[in-house]
Amino acid sequence: MGQITLSSVTKSFGEVHVIPPLDLQINDGEFVVFVGPSGCGKSTLLRLIAGLEDISAGRIDIDGRDATHAPPAERGLAMVFQSYALYPHMTVRKNIAFPLKMAKLPQAEQERKVENAARILNLTSYLNRRPGQLSGGQRQRVAIGRAIVREPAAFLFDEPLSNLDAALRVTMRQEISELHQSLKTTMIYVTHDQVEAMTMADKIVVLNAGRIEQVGAPLELYAHPRNLFVAGFIGSPKMNFISGSEAAKHGAHTIGVRPEHITVGDGPWEGVVGLSEHLGSDSFIKVEVPGMGTINVRAPGEVGVHHGQTIRLAPAGKIHRFDDKGMAL
């Protein structure tokens, strides 16, 4: 189980309206990512689902039961925070067992569940250490272990990897994806990082100022963003937006072309190379095209261009079209 339905969920802090009425369906077993810029209301929405904040209006159902005013402990959800929130004086074993001890589970059952979680998370040989004797990634795994033993209907993650360095973030994000594949439990994961959203989600919810801009599978959002916000947020490097006469040729107010959908060589656009970054696998090139502005191009690693060179470009993939309200045509 782990089906969560939000109906006209609204949240204000006094005069500050953070979440306007919002509807969302999260299905059992889904990996749902809330993504959006800092301050857009991701954490607030997650905390409303967890019951850590009261909702101002609307309704939350969990597994078909009205949970709108249920206290956090009765919702059957387990939250994992960026800050780990571990007890420094307790061993890993005691940290993981903590919710089971609170629930007064028999000792033998506590031990069985802790050992099982430790095995899943590769923490078995660390059970007698304290958090201070662990790396950041291991501490985050302990926090996840403490959530696993509760066997929740859903896991709620709030930017759990933000405190880790880049390489460890990649490893941990794969571990969490694998954990989802083995547990098959609903997971709601909050991040401002669109790469995490793209790589982990079954379903991405793009938030902007508390509103849902679009809900969809990662590649659906990549291929069919419904407005300029989603088009600019999903994908790295960012989609190029071009307006003026070039867009008018396509019957649009603005056109969008992804950097990876532009080829260098022949083509209708001529410009001068500004900064070019050669990563080996790819080259990121900025080209100043008169009347269009700076166009970012993602070219093959071995593309031979240099600063100041005049080159020609061709759009070689989908041209996204938007109207004057920024909505996809």
- Contacts with Mg ion by CB under 5 A lie at 43
CB atoms within 10 A of CB 158: 20
Contact predicate 215/53, CB 8 Å: no
16 touches, from Mg ion, ligand ADP, none (C-beta below 5 to 8 Å by class): ligand ADP
- Report strand pairing: 282-289 vs 254-257: unpaired
Q: Which does 203 bind (CB under 5 to 8 A by kind): ligand ADP, Mg ion, none?
A: none
Q: Which is nearer to Mg ion, 43 or 185 (CB)?
A: 43
Task: Give the closest residue to 157 by CA, choosing from 49, 284, 68.
Answer: 49
Pair 285, 303: CB distance under 8 Å? yes
Interaction residues for ligand ADP, span 93-122 (CB under 6 A): none
Q: How far is the CB of 230 from ligand ADP (least distance, A)?
A: 16
Residue whose CB is less far from ligand ADP, 41 or 315: 41
Q: Where are the alpha helices (DSSP H) in 203-259?
A: 218-223, 228-233, 245-248
314 three-state secondary structure: strand
Residue 139, Ramachandran bin (φ over 0: left; ψ between -120 and 50: alpha; else beta):
alpha
Q: Which does 186 bind (CB under 5 to 8 A by kind): Mg ion, ligand ADP, none?
A: none
Q: Spell out, one character per residue from 12 to 51, where the chain touches ligand ADP: x when CB under 6 A holds, - when not.
A: -x--x-x-----------------x-xxxxxxx-------
* Non-local CB neighbours of 100 within 8 Å, separated by 6+ positions: 109, 110, 113, 114, 149, 150
Report the residue number, 12 or 236, with the smaller CB distance to ligand ADP.
12
Residue 3 C-beta: closest distance to ligand ADP, Å: 23
> Rounded to whole angstroms, how far apart are CA atoms 290 and 84?
50
Nearer to ligand ADP, 153 or 205 (CB): 205
Q: In whole angstroms, how close is the CB of 235 to Mg ion at the nearest point?
A: 22
Side-chain-side CA neighbours of residue 26 (13 Å): 31
Q: How far is the CB of 8 from ligand ADP (least distance, A)?
A: 18
Chain residue whose CB lies nearest Mg ion: 43
Asked whether position 6 contacts ligand ADP by CB under 6 A, the answer is: no
Residue ranges in 189-208 that form contacts with ligand ADP under rule CB under 6 A: none
Question: What 3-state DSSP class applies to 24?
Answer: strand
CB nearer to Mg ion: give 43 or 95. Answer: 43
Establish if 125 lies at the interface with ligand ADP (CB under 6 A).
no
CB of 93 to Mg ion, least distance (A): 30
- Would you tell me how many other CB atoms lie within 10 Å of the CB of residue 317? 11
Nearer to Mg ion, 208 or 276 (CB): 208
> φ and ψ at 136, to 5 degrees?
-60, -45
Q: Which is nearer to ligand ADP, 16 or 166 (CB)?
A: 16
Pairing of strands 240-243, 211-216: unpaired
The CB-of-161 to Mg ion minimum distance in angstroms stands at: 13
Summarize as ranges the residues that interact with ligand ADP (CB under 6 A).
13, 16, 18, 36, 38-44
